[in-house]
């Protein structure tokens, strides 16, 4: 077989360039050529030194009314403070970093799981100001002003389990357990807003969490049981 007739072989032929590039050869439309971050050594050092005040100053920088619009407004500072489980954590966060990534790989809070990484499974559910969100599909910079609660912050400081956690154990909620952190956080957040739900309301509220073991009814019973003691 001559070389031209060889079938497509991704290990040889794959160029690593975005497929869509072929329709925009000038790179003008959707896909600009990759550029490194506009972050010089000097600006990075400034960022490191000033970050403490920079975070609190952002609001002032952008809030005054009567001044010309700033197209040169600086991109977000990388060094920010996050309020996680009641503690202030200083962390270096890239602009394109998701909250799940920050929690797991920067802060070592690995209780939050990454399942699909596309907001379609619920394993990464955390609370931002008591509202359940998918941390895999939230930019960390979006939640720097909110107070984040992860699965690590659900039980009380002395180790007593939250009623939801206890109820999930009693009702044998988890099988493999991978979705459980997300299920617990969803249930806690839901019971905070609706302490005495109906079964249908609870089912609706838990519908954003997938369980591949199919233990939905166990989790649902757990939520209803926890509702009695919350």
Q: Which residues of the shown chain bind another protein in the complex (CB under 8 A)?
A: 18-20, 22-24, 28-32, 34-38, 58-59, 61-63, 65, 68-73, 75-76, 94-96, 98, 101, 105, 114, 117-120, 122, 125, 131-134, 137-139, 141-142, 186, 190, 204-205, 207-208
Strands 147-149 and 79-84 turn out to be parallel
Radius of gyration in angstroms for the set of CA atoms belonging to the chain, rounded to a whole number: 23
> Minimum Å distance from CB 186 to another protein?
7
Name which of 39 and 169 has its Cβ closer to another protein: 39
In angstroms, the CA 48 to CA 42 distance is 10
Note the maximum CA span of the chain: 74
Q: Taking the CB of residue 168, how many other CB atoms lie within 10 A of it?
A: 26
Angstrom distance (rounded) from CA 145 to CA 84: 11
Least separation in angstroms between CB 3 and another protein? 27
Tell me whether residue 58 or residue 175 sits nearer to another protein (CB atom).
58
Q: How many CA atoms lie within 13 A of 218 on its CB side?
A: 19
- Nearest approach in angstroms of CB 34 to another protein is 7
193: nearest Cα among 140, 127, 99, 111:
127
Decide whether 133 or 224 has the Cβ nearer to another protein. Answer: 133
- In angstroms, what is the minimal distance from the CB of 1 to another protein? 26
- Measured from the CB atom, is 23 or 157 closer to another protein? 23
């Amino acid at each position: 077989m001559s070389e031209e007739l060889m079938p497509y072989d991704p290990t040889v032929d794959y160029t690593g360039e975005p497929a869509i590039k072929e329709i925009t050869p000038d790179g003008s439309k959707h896909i600009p050529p990759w550029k490194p971050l506009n972050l010089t050594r000097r600006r990075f050092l400034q960022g490191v030194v000033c970050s403490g005040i920079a975070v609190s100053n952002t609001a002032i920088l952008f809030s005054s009314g009567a001044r010309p619009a700033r197209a040169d407004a600086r991109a977000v500072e990388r060094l920010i403070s996050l309020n996680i489980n009641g503690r202030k954590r200083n962390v270096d966060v890239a602009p394109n970093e998701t909250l799940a990534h920050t929690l797991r790989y920067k802060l070592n809070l690995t209780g939050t799981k990454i399942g699909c990484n596309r907001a379609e499974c619920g394993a990464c559910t955390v609370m931002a100001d008591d509202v359940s969100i998918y941390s895999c599909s939230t930019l960390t910079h979006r939640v720097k002003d909110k107070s984040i609660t992860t699965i690590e912050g659900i039980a009380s400081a002395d180790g007593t389990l939250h009623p939801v956690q206890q109820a999930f154990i009693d009702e044998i909620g988890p099988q493999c357990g991978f979705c459980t952190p997300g299920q617990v956080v969803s249930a806690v957040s839901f019971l905070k807003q609706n302490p005495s739900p109906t079964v249908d309301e609870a089912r609706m509220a838990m519908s954003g969490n997938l369980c591949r073991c199919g233990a939905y009814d166990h989790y649902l019973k757990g939520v209803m049981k926890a509702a009695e003691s919350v």
